Amino acid sequence: MTRRTLLFFRWGVFAAACALLYLRLSGHQGNVPRWEGFITALSPFPYGIVVVVLGMMVLNWSLEARKWQLLVRPLQPLGFVRAFAGTIAGTAIGLITPNRVGEFAGRVLFLEPEHRVQGSFATVLGSLAQFVVTLLMGGVAVLVGRYVHQSHHLLTHAWDVLVWSTLLMAGAAVLLFFSPGVFGRILLVIPWLRRFERQALALERSDGSMLWRVFGWSAVRYAVFTLQFALLLHALAGVPLADAMTAVPVIFLVTTLVPTTALTELGVRSSVAATFVNGDASAVVLATALVWMINIVVPALAGSVVLLVARIRTTPEGT
C-alpha cells in the first residue's frame, strides 16, 4: 500500500462513515425513531443509566482490544493503547461493510506491513470466538424461554428447530475455534485466500492456553454488552431485568444470523427487539437505538478520526 493509497483510504473511510451515519440518524432510510418525542415522553429520562452504559461501552471495547492484543502477540507485541486504537479504527470500517466484516481491515493497519496478512487470520479467529459465545448464549436463552418461561413467542416447532440448529452450529464453531489449524484449512476453500496458505496454516501454532483466554474475554465482553442492553430496556421500557437478560441473547442471536448493512442494521435490530421484548414498542426501539449509537456509532466516529491521525506504515521494515 502506497502513502497516496493510504491517504485516500483514510479519508474515504471517514467520509463514508459520516455519510452513512447521517443517512441513518436523519431518518432518510425510514424506521428511525423520532428521538425528541421518545425522550420527551420519558419523564424523568434515566440519564444516570445512560452514563453507566457509556462507561460500559469503554469497557466493552477495552475487552475486545485486550482480546486482539493476545491474538496478535505471537506476531507483533502491541501496547494496549495501540491495540485499542486499532480496535476502534476497525469499527469505522466495519460500519460501512455488511455485518461489520471489515473490522479486521482497520485493525491490521496498526500492525507492521509484513504481519498484516497473518494478523488478519488471527483477527478472524477472535471473531469466531465471539460468534461461538453468541450462539451458545442465544441457544441457552431460547431454551430457557421455550421450556422454562413458556413464552408465547417461542411455543412453535420452528423455535424448536432454531434451538437445536443453533446449538449444533455452536458445537461446530467451538470445535473449529479450538482446532485453529482445521479452521485455517477450511478458510483456504475460498479461492482468493489460497495464495495466503502459509499464513492461514500458521493458525495451527496457536497456543491452547491463549485460545482459552480469548474465549474467556469474549464471554466477559458478551456479558457486558448484554447487561448494557438489558439495563436500557429496564430503564426505558420497564422490562424486568431478568426478562431482559433472557430476551437480549435471543435478539443478538437472530441479528447475528441475519445479513445486514450499515443502513439496515438498526432497523433489523429494532424490529427483532420489538418482537421478542414484552414492553412499549417505542421505548424498546429507543433502547435498541441507544445501544446501537453508544456501542457502534460513538466508537466508529472515534475510530474514523483515529484512522486519519494514526501513524501507519506503508512498507515493510528495511525497505
Asked if residue 61 belongs to a domain, the reply is yes
Asked if residue 316 belongs to a domain, the reply is no
Helix axes 80-95, 298-309, angle to 10 degrees: 110
Asked if residue 146 belongs to a domain, the reply is yes
pLDDT per residue as tens digits for the range 63-106: 999 999 999 999 899 999 999 999 999 888 888 777 777 788 88
Q: Report how far apart, in Å, the C-alpha atoms of 123 and of each of 101, 108, 115, 127, 198 are.
A: 11, 8, 12, 6, 16
Report the candidate in 310, 302, 297 with the shortest Cα–Cα distance to residue 82.
310
| Count of domains observed in the chain | 1
Asked if residue 315 belongs to a domain, the reply is no
- Determine the pLDDT at residue 43: 60
pLDDT per residue as tens digits for the range 17-51: 566 556 655 554 444 445 555 555 556 678 889 89
- Determine the pLDDT at residue 237: 86
pTM for the whole thing?
Answer: 0.85
- Residue 264 and residue 190: Cα distance in Å, rounded? 27
| Residue 51 domain boundaries | 3-309
Asked if residue 314 belongs to a domain, the reply is no
Q: How far apart are the first and last CA of the chain?
A: 13
Asked if residue 57 belongs to a domain, the reply is yes
Q: Which distant-in-sequence residues (6+ apart) come within 8 Å of 122 by Cβ? A: 71, 72, 75, 203, 206
- Determine the pLDDT at residue 30: 44
Residues in the chain predicted with pLDDT less than 70, given as ranges, are 1-14, 16-44, 147-158, 261-263, 313-319
Asked if residue 241 belongs to a domain, the reply is yes
Residue type, position 44, single letter: P
